[in-house]
């Protein structure tokens, strides 16, 4: 391979040099050979010399006082407009020609930092230590390139980056990224409530431990915080100069490398995450509603810009279920996921079971203890858990699941009678999420209160704890259990994702995407009407002769078998006019049951809509 250096002065000693940052021409990286040439003590020329005379040469002047580089109009072979240099706070990444604009000692190795405008010694380019290039064969352990000296890509071969100690590997990339130093990842934090404060406190408390475990001295620093009201009192104290009310300033800030979205909702959060991905800044989010409802568009942006979006904190708080399913179980065909993944509803159902509270009293207690939000709607109507189930289904089965096709019911209609009846039959009531693959390849996904046997391990999951049972063809049955909400558990997952994002930036885009991307164009969801279980059905009725016979005849007409009936009597009102009638029904398709219930509702003796619980076989 004919690597060579070129200088403007060699071609034309009298030539006037363009302004720093000027993009003279453009060519595809695949069609050209990069080279770098010293011009004077303050600037170098980075050029791509074409292999073919038909290509257009790219030359970019790089100021060493204010380093920056224009993006190429890669592969288009057309003249590009000059792009101004980034601000003086912007940093090059390893492997960029800009990586050699200054140096300092750190951890016994040379670390490259920005020159801060200081003129450089004329011999700088020849004396600068070697630095890794993004995606090349650099070894951080040995401090040198793994390529042999006779490899044309290696610095020892005399390639175009030899004076800088850089490989001329085809995977060299140059972009605006890791800011203040190559060791520190700048974080933009959108949201400084309970979880945002937890992230701040975790980084402050465990920063040294995180750096040690992350490896190679990787550190994290929060550089921007987006809030609605900067004056509001918060659980953590951060310098006032970090706060802003405009998330756009955070995304555009060149010192911010990773964006953390913790503002919730689906509108402003979508705009923020989409802007960060478009700016090639990795995203960490705990927003399950955003990903469940608009994940398809965001995953497409993630793929388009080769920038990952991490969301461990979006499912089950501090339980590392996303990483486990996506990475540890990568060789498993997961046939089912069964989860209790909303702590608020689980606490309410536990108190209704243990203390025999009714639903309003249990909800009130959960709010007093801080286990329920002021607006508890998403927790108790099932959608918070359903959003998490949708994300788990998307990861396991590889295609984006449409939230509108998912069956969801909440716990608002659960009564003490249902809890008591379940207990007497050997069951407990739990808000259960089911993701199950059937033999025809269709995926069943639903969320609703269900009867589960007391003998099953999920029956012992109480309080605000979460648990996810996974069944794979390799691992068999596995259970993931822990705190599913709260400041510290969720912040733990956010920080774990920050480390993944930091490694991605440190190792360069050639190291792989690292986040999740759908790997199937589409899949088939099993219609809810075709799903089958046994059922518990409670009918509010008028206490008169013939009620049981009327209901039973319509069930028989639909081909639904009855395993038992019961009409509990209130000792305080033995002659009450209105009572509840309970039927236990054999397994049948849900659609057939719905059809029968619609006819039963029209009976004069039925006073309210029937209440249905599935009896699960797990």
Active-site annotation, residues: 388
CB 386 within 8 A of CB 406: yes
Start-to-end CA span in the chain (Å): 63
Compute the distance between CA of residue 505 and CA of residue 91 in angstroms, rounded to an integer.
Answer: 12
Compute the distance between CA of residue 349 and CA of residue 410 in angstroms, rounded to an integer.
Answer: 11
Q: For residue 194, give the H/E element and its range.
A: helix 194-214
Structure tokens at 580: 């509840």
At residue 259, the 3 state secondary structure works out as strand
Q: For residue 366, give the H/E element and its range.
A: helix 359-368
Expressed in percent and rounded to 5, the helix, strand and coil fractions of the chain are: 30, 25, 45
435 closest CA partner among 308, 335, 555 = 335
Structure tokens at 473: 């063809």
Question: Quick one: CA dihedral 97, 98, 102, 107, positive or negative?
Answer: negative
Residue 440 neighbours by CB under 8 Å, 6+ apart: none
Compute the distance between CA of residue 372 and CA of residue 363 in angstroms, rounded to an integer.
Answer: 8
Compute the distance between CA of residue 430 and CA of residue 545 in angstroms, rounded to an integer.
Answer: 34
Residues facing residue 589 across a β-bridge: 532
Compute the distance between CA of residue 382 and CA of residue 431 in angstroms, rounded to an integer.
Answer: 8
CB 408 within 8 A of CB 381: yes
Q: Annotate 533-549 with three-state secondary structure.
A: EEEEEEEEEECCCCHHH
Residue with tokens 């040294």: 208
Strand intervals (E) in 191-299: 219-226, 243-244, 258-261, 283-285
How many other CB atoms sit within 10 Å of the CB of residue 528?
18
Structure tokens at 281: 């800044």
Compute the distance between CA of residue 266 and CA of residue 295 in angstroms, rounded to an integer.
Answer: 10
Compute the distance between CA of residue 69 and CA of residue 65 in angstroms, rounded to an integer.
Answer: 13
Compute the distance between CA of residue 517 and CA of residue 197 in angstroms, rounded to an integer.
Answer: 29
Residues facing residue 433 across a β-bridge: 339, 447
Residue with tokens 């469940």: 292
Measured in whole angstroms, the distance separating CA 527 from the mean position of its chain's CA atoms is 27
């Amino acid at each position: 391979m004919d690597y060579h250096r070129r200088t403007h002065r060699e071609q034309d000693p009298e030539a006037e040099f363009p302004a720093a940052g000027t993009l003279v021409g453009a060519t595809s990286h695949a069609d050209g050979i990069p080279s770098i040439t010293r011009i004077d003590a303050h600037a170098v020329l980075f050029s791509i010399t074409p292999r073919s005379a038909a290509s257009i040469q790219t030359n970019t002047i790089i100021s060493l006082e204010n380093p920056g580089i224009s993006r190429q109009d890669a592969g288009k072979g057309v003249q590009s407009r000059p792009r101004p240099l980034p601000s003086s706070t912007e940093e090059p990444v390893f492997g960029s020609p800009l990586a050699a604009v200054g140096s300092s000692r750190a951890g016994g190795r040379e670390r490259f930092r920005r020159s801060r405008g200081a003129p450089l010694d004329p011999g700088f380019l020849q004396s600068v230590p070697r630095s890794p290039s993004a995606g090349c064969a650099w070894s951080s352990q040995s401090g040198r390139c793994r390529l042999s000296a006779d490899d044309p890509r290696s610095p020892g071969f005399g390639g175009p980056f030899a004076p800088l100690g850089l490989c001329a590997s085809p995977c060299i990339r140059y972009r605006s990224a890791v800011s203040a130093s190559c060791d520190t990842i700048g974080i933009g934090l959108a949201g400084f409530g309970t979880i945002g404060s937890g992230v701040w406190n975790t980084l402050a408390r465990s920063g040294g431990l995180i750096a040690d475990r992350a490896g190679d001295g990787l550190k994290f620093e929060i550089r921007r915080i987006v809030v609605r009201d900067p004056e509001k009192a918060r659980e953590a104290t951060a310098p006032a100069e970090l706060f802003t009310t405009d998330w756009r300033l955070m995304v555009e800030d060149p010192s911010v490398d990773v964006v953390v979205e913790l503002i919730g909702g689906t509108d402003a959060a979508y705009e923020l995450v989409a802007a960060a991905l478009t700016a090639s800044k990795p995203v960490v989010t705990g927003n399950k509603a955003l990903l469940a409802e608009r994940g398809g568009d965001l995953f497409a942006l993630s793929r388009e810009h080769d920038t990952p979006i991490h969301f461990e904190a979006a499912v089950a708080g501090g339980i590392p279920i996303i990483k486990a399913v996506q990475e540890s179980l990568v060789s498993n065909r997961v046939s089912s996921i069964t989860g209790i993944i909303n702590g608020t509803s689980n606490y309410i159902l536990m108190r209704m079971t243990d203390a025999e509270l009714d639903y309003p009293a249990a909800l009130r207690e959960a709010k007093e203890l801080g286990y329920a939000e002021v607006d508890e709607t998403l927790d108790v109507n099932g959608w918070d858990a359903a959003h998490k189930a949708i994300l788990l289904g998307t990861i396991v089965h590889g295609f984006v699941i449409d939230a509108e096709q998912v069956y969801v019911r909440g716990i608002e209609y659960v009564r003490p009678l249902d809890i008591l009846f379940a207990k007497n039959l050997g069951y407990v009531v739990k808000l259960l999420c089911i993701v199950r693959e059937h033999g025809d390849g269709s995926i069943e996904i639903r969320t609703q209160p269900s009867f589960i046997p007391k003998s099953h391990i999920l029956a012992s999951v109480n309080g605000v704890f979460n648990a996810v049972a996974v069944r794979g063809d390799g691992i068999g049955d596995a259970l993931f259990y822990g705190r599913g909400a709260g400041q510290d558990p969720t912040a733990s997952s956010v920080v774990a994702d920050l480390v993944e994002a930091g490694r991605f930036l440190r190792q360069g885009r050639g190291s792989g995407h690292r986040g999740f991307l759908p790997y199937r164009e589409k899949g088939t969801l099993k219609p809810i009407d075709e799903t089958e279980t046994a059922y518990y059905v409670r009918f509010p009725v008028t206490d008169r002769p013939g009620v049981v016979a009327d209901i039973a005849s319509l069930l028989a007409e639909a081909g639904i078998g009855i395993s038992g009936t019961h009409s509990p009597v209130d000792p305080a009102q033995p002659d009450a006019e209105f009572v509840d009638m309970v039927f236990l029904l054999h397994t049948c398709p849900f659609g057939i049951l719905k059809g029968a219930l619609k006819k039963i509702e029209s009976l004069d003796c039925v006073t309210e809509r029937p209440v249905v619980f599935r009896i699960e076989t797990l």
